[in-house]
Amino acid sequence: MGKRNILLLEPNYKNKYPPIGLMKLATYHRKLGDNVVFYKGDLNKFVLEDICCQLIDKISEIDNTINWNNYRNDIIQYIYRGIRAIKFELISKSQYSLALDNWFEHYKNQYRKGEYFHQPKWDRICITTLFTFHWKITIETIEFAKKIVKDINELKVGGVLATVLSNEVESKTGIKPHNGLLDKAGVLDDNEIIIDNLPLDYSILEEIDYKYSENNAYYGYLTRGCIRKCSFCAVPKLEPKFHEFISIKNQIKKASKTYGEKRNLLLLDNNVLASDCFPEIIKEIKEIGYTKDSKYIEPNQLDISIKNLKSGFNDRAFIRKSYNLLHQLLSKLQGDRQQHLYNMMESLSLLSINTSSKENILAIYPEVKELYEKHRNKTPKKRYVDFNQGVDARLLVKDEKKMMLLSEIPINPLRIAFDNMKYEKIYVKAVELAAKYGIKQLSNYLLYNEQDQPIELYQRLKINVDLCETLGINIYSFPMKFHPINGNEWYANRNFIGKHWNRKFLRAIQTILNATKGKIGKGKSFFYEAFGHDEDEFFKLLYMPETYILFRFFFKDMGYTDRWWEEFNNFSSKDLFIVKTIIEKNDFSNIENLSCSSSIKAFLRNHYLISREEIKNPESKIFKEKLNYDLKKNA
């Protein structure tokens, strides 16, 4: 089989963790000698840049006396906008302008007339997928990929969404997704390689502008699957078989050798405590280098990048990485030293990523090697282990030894789920055990909008705040809105409303969470301010106009909130029922046509029509009022 062009795509949604499946696929295809490219971002931009690269390669063959990369921005502009004057200026730099003209025209048409799609370049495209509520962007990505792959049968779609909504994806796009893991030999080609067992290719993460929030960690699984079958969870479908222990020691060793040591260990196990091999798992984590007080000193990243550039391993990634490191160094220097490096980088066209070449990076390296070593950060930092899918409180409580074992590694944070008030006793016991064994940083996803009552969210948050105070620990609570993963039309968006929830309550929680950046830490006063001092106040917040929640102090201090609350409580019980029913729908667009009394309409008009836009509009009365208020506050 000849060298194939392989494109790995992640749809352009925001996510915290890198696409592990694609990282394995990168290793797989590199092993087979293929040319591998990873992309996450604007797909039109990707095509534009790809066409630009092809044009530069072509014109460099014709005239290599000019470094065409220096004109990359102009070339992109020409391809994108087709302005002749740009082209004439570019080709007039060369004595072969006539020959160049044809190729400029050819590649402009590739983009502007869509000819790129008539002669697709990619032999295979692999797309990963994630949450079902990313349905729209996922389908758009698949549709786009269909246009740039040579053979539609070589468009491979896998991952969470593709597995749980396999039929829906197929009927929408005509592409039959791969379900579950790539854990059998010969899944993609006729060979004996099991892709799921391959080490991760961390280099692909350097190829894109997008930065995953946890980007200095080894990623891995020590177990696969789960012993339980929770209705809202995709794991039983994705990984139906529970594997007790998968050693990662060798993979980590290899990754360190190629990419340098990573600081943290991020483990994506679904239910690691369910493994009978848990003591061996902890032993391996310690052997890898994650003991209680282990420290990390970042290796020399420039040396690593250069080593990889020299060996020809993913130039696309390591040119970008070296470029970024050189610029970091430049920003650390001062005075003459900075000027000297700047001049060197300028003369080698290393001031822009567009013009940076492998040859010039290798050329500058001997000059900056020592300087980089001198200025790089060598401060020892604590290392952490994070089972980012959380651990099962029921199993912790059943066997205290598991908590003891967890406390022997630098776990931070310990994530324990608290999905329902019915697990209160178990959850509290698990947190107490964590504190007993000295684990002080905890994190907690709180599922809401499923079968739960709204008040249970408040109760669970309050339990966490109280536990922080009594046990002297930190629990960061992350309320997570439930979205069904299949079964009805809700999977494709975020509009699902749980049995005991309504539009207004969900909006209120979202508004509060926007102000707290999605997490609630320790500190009672902060919690009370955000969610109310008691359950009654929490309910008051749920019915409160959105802008009153958002600009809490302004509306409170200006008396709006009190007036609203007084009027709300002055309704007769019959009217209050009507008012609540209207508010819960969270639609105030047509108040005049509602079938209710004029006093209810006036109440809604006065309080629920003050929008965020109105507060931002300099012409509005409320804007001026808020401006005066803010000025007085800041005086």
Q: Which of 228, 237, 263, 307 binds ligand SF4 (CB under 6 A)?
A: 228
- Comparing CA positions, the residue from 3, 8, 6 lying closest to residue 205 is 8
Q: How far, in Å, CA of 617 to CA of 611, rounded?
A: 10
Q: Which of 3, 81, 93, 229 binds ligand SF4 (CB under 6 A)?
A: 229
Q: How far is CA 363 from CA 8, 260, 348, 360, in A?
A: 31, 22, 8, 5
Report in angstroms how near the CB of residue 234 gets to ligand SF4 at its nearest.
8
Report in angstroms how near the CB of residue 387 gets to ligand SF4 at its nearest.
11
- Per CB under 6 A, the segment of 189-197, 224-232, 495-503, 571-579 that binds ligand SF4 is 224-232
Strand partners, 9: 39, 127
b/e map of 371-397 (b: 16 or more CB within 10 Å)?
A: bbeeebeeeeeebbbbbbbbbbbbbbb
Verify binding: residue 391, ligand SF4, rule CB under 6 A. Answer: no
Report in angstroms how near the CB of residue 392 gets to ligand SF4 at its nearest.
6
Q: Which of 48, 99, 194, 233 binds ligand SF4 (CB under 6 A)?
A: 233
Verify binding: residue 82, ligand SF4, rule CB under 6 A. Answer: no
Handedness of CA 21, 27, 31, 35 (dihedral sign): positive
Nearer to ligand SF4, 169 or 417 (CB): 417
- Per CB under 6 A, the segment of 33-41, 126-134, 233-241, 484-492 that binds ligand SF4 is 233-241
Nearer to ligand SF4, 141 or 270 (CB): 270
- Comparing CA positions, the residue from 464, 418, 465, 413 lying closest to residue 440 is 413
- Comparing CA positions, the residue from 157, 123, 145 lying closest to residue 47 is 145
Report in angstroms how near the CB of residue 289 gets to ligand SF4 at its nearest.
27
Nearer to ligand SF4, 233 or 333 (CB): 233
Show the DSSP H helices in 185-273 as ranges.
235-238, 249-259
Report in angstroms how near the CB of residue 453 gets to ligand SF4 at its nearest.
20
- Per CB under 6 A, the segment of 119-127, 135-143, 223-231, 484-492 that binds ligand SF4 is 223-231
b/e map of 116-136 (b: 16 or more CB within 10 Å)?
A: beeebebbbbbbbbbbbbbbe
Show the DSSP H helices in 150-240 as ranges.
160-164, 166-173, 235-238
Q: Order of strands across the sheet with 474-481?
A: 414-415, 441-448, 474-481
Q: Which of 235, 439, 465, 622 binds ligand SF4 (CB under 6 A)?
A: 235
> Are 223 and 245 spatial neighbours (Cβ–Cβ below 8 Å)?
yes
Q: Which of residues 268-327 bind ligand SF4 (CB under 6 A)?
A: 270-271
- Per CB under 6 A, the segment of 181-189, 191-199, 200-208, 231-239 that binds ligand SF4 is 231-239
> Are 442 and 415 spatial neighbours (Cβ–Cβ below 8 Å)?
yes
Q: Which of 1, 83, 185, 230 binds ligand SF4 (CB under 6 A)?
A: 230
> Are 263 and 217 spatial neighbours (Cβ–Cβ below 8 Å)?
yes
Report in angstroms how near the CB of residue 228 gets to ligand SF4 at its nearest.
4
Verify binding: residue 236, ligand SF4, rule CB under 6 A. Answer: yes
Nearer to ligand SF4, 235 or 426 (CB): 235
Evaluate the omega torsion of the peptide bond into residue 19 and state whether it is cis, within 30 degrees of 0.
no
Nearer to ligand SF4, 240 or 279 (CB): 240
The residues of the shown chain that bind ligand SF4, judged by CB under 6 A, are 226, 228-230, 233, 235-236, 270-271, 392
